[in-house]
Chain A
């Protein structure tokens, strides 16, 4: 236990140092760095989606709209208001805060409306937002917002990723995490063992939206532009695909889903349009054989896994693996 407490911060510091070096001294091929940044950004987004769709068990399609809020707010701020690159983290933070507020808004219908009906309300939110952005000239209308400072680099992606993972872990292993999963299992029973359903839903939707907003901000500052079409059907579909590919209600699954899908799209890029076809077929196959995703409801726990392999205390280790090492 003591070793672990000491090891994690050390690893984080080393990681920041390495990513700092990568960002400012160009040690690695820029293309690989770009892919790594995508993986990081999408992992943050998938963690956010997973909070609502996986842990809370509500099928939401709001993530594309929420991401747009984060992307546009932070983009506008760093382009016109907080133009100093040193204020970049503040821009992301404020963009994510705007997204958080939109998350609160989406949580309100979830008190009353359920299932597929709620899914379409969240979809409506995304499409309304997209339409609004297309019609607002001061954010660039349909052409989108251009010349956003390209402040995103691998170091910032790494730092936000660490923050996101730590926050989700702390949240899930708290009273809120337990009430969230209890609502997923049985909302009425949860309410009748003293869980405040509305409060939990507001908190989860808000937290989820905050993370998705961070990823939106990082994405727009990576690409240096953003436009309404980025946050339409494709983003909704890809977000869901990454969540369900990696596994619902799983932190390591979120990373796995984001990494696998991003890499797959990149590896298959030479195939042109075929990459979507191969990707779609692969997803269908995974859904058939692992309907909750590769790591559904579990965490990758290397220690427990190794112990299981070496058969030392194997029954206990198996139990730990089964329970995500809790």
Chain B
């Protein structure tokens, strides 16, 4: 029982992070229809930025909590701006081009980011400074740490904030309109370019928050983490039904469940990835548009 509760905490922690990553992926897909293979590398750049900001801020203050909030907020803003620039320069000229050329471009953007970091910062792995007090809790037989609680609560807060933004604000409503029918939305006077920029910015900012939380749990990083992050956010987004934000959250927690449960059942923990992808393939074979995805109907 204790083990199960322990794993439940791990699941929530991991699921929160996957969900945040999948949201950004899904949001861009919902608006532009682009499988953004640069998403993981945006995450990687965000991690580096957080690392430098935190190191710099610690030289000014010793309040680790202030450093955490300030570095996350600053990084989110900067990475959001970076995503917007990338969108303007690389993706915008491709409006109306075949979808695959967008995808290939995003691959190229990912490669570019990764190798820029490799060139300037080197291939060695680094460690994110600890920004959360090292407090352990014990409830019965279950041990968990303060940062785990923080991750779950912080992620939940971001998701609720996003939910409010999408449901209540003008821009949020406009985003939903564009994702349902871009042509009709533009006839209603919604600027598609603006909405696309917003989607990229929010997606990247949320990924940055994800990177900040990820760093608490797994502080070691290098320029290659983007690839792995990319596959996992892609997987989570598709599991839930790509383009659907609630689906992304669901997919994130489902993927976390697979990742947490399969090592408990299987003898070798390295088969975890195999199980995760097998689950994904099985889900898609049964529900070809993901769990919450719209079934596209082909008209004859």
Contacts and interface: CB of A to CB of B under 8 A. Distances in A.
User: Are A and B close enough to touch in the complex, i.e. CB under 8 Å?
Assistant: yes
Contact of A233 (B101, B104, B227): B227
B238 to A, nearest CB: 5
A230 interface: no
A287 B94 contact: yes
Interface in B100-154: 100-105, 107-112, 114-116, 118-119
A287 B108 contact: yes
Interface stretch (A89-97, A154-162, A171-179, A237-245): A237-245
Given A120-B234, A124-B281, A276 B111 contact: yes
A4 B98 CA distance: 36
A237 B273 CA distance: 20
Contact of A280 (B115, B234, B242): B115
A109 interface: yes
Interface string A192-208: 10000000000000000
Interface stretch (A33-41, A74-82, A126-134, A216-224): A126-134
A291 B97 CA distance: 6
Interface in A104-124: 109, 112-114, 116-117, 119-121, 123-124
Contacts of A112: 285, 288
Interface SS, A side: helix
B290 A117 contact: yes
A119 B285 contact: no
B220 interface: no
A53 interface: yes
Contacts of B296: 114
A276 B107 CA distance: 12
A23 B90 CA distance: 44
B52 to A, nearest CB: 20
B101 A272 contact: no
Contacts of B94: 287-288, 291
B83 to A, nearest CB: 15
B61 interface: no
Interface in A272-287: 272-274, 276-277, 279-281, 283-284, 287
B298 A123 contact: no
Contact of B277 (A117, A127, A134, A241): A127
Interface size class of chain B, counting residues whose CB lies under 8 Å from the partner chain:
35 or more
Contacts of A117: 238, 242, 284, 288-290, 293
A308 interface: no
A59 interface: yes
A135 B288 CA distance: 30
A275 B116 CA distance: 10
A109 B284 CA distance: 9
A240 B104 contact: yes
A291 B235 CA distance: 27
Contacts of B118: 273
With a 10 A CB-CB cut-off, give which of A112, A114, A123 has the most chain B CB atoms: A123
B277 A124 contact: yes
Interface in A9-58: 53
A104 to B, nearest CB: 16
A65 to B, nearest CB: 11
Nearest to B98: A291
Contacts of B56: none
A315 interface: no
B300 interface: yes
Interface string A252-291: 0000000000000000000011101101110110011001
A231 B110 CA distance: 18
A188 interface: yes
B180 interface: no
Contacts of B98: 291-292
Given A284-B90, A292-B101, A128 B278 contact: yes
A128 B273 contact: yes
Nearest to B239: A120
A276 B112 contact: yes
A113 B288 contact: yes
B101 A128 contact: no
A127 B273 contact: yes
Interface string B244-278: 00000000000000000000000010110110011
A248 B105 CA distance: 15
Interface string B278-300: 10110011001110010010101
Given A244-B104, A283-B108, A273 B278 contact: no
Contacts of B270: 131, 134-135
Contact of A59 (B93, B103, B116, B271): B103
Nearest to B273: A131
Interface string A286-318: 011001100000000000000000000000000
A78 to B, nearest CB: 28
B285 A109 contact: yes
B157 interface: no
B111 A128 contact: no
A131 B281 contact: no
B170 to A, nearest CB: 29
11 contacts: A117-B242, A117-B284, A117-B289, A120-B234, A120-B235, A128-B274, A248-B100, A274-B119, A279-B108, A287-B101, A287-B104
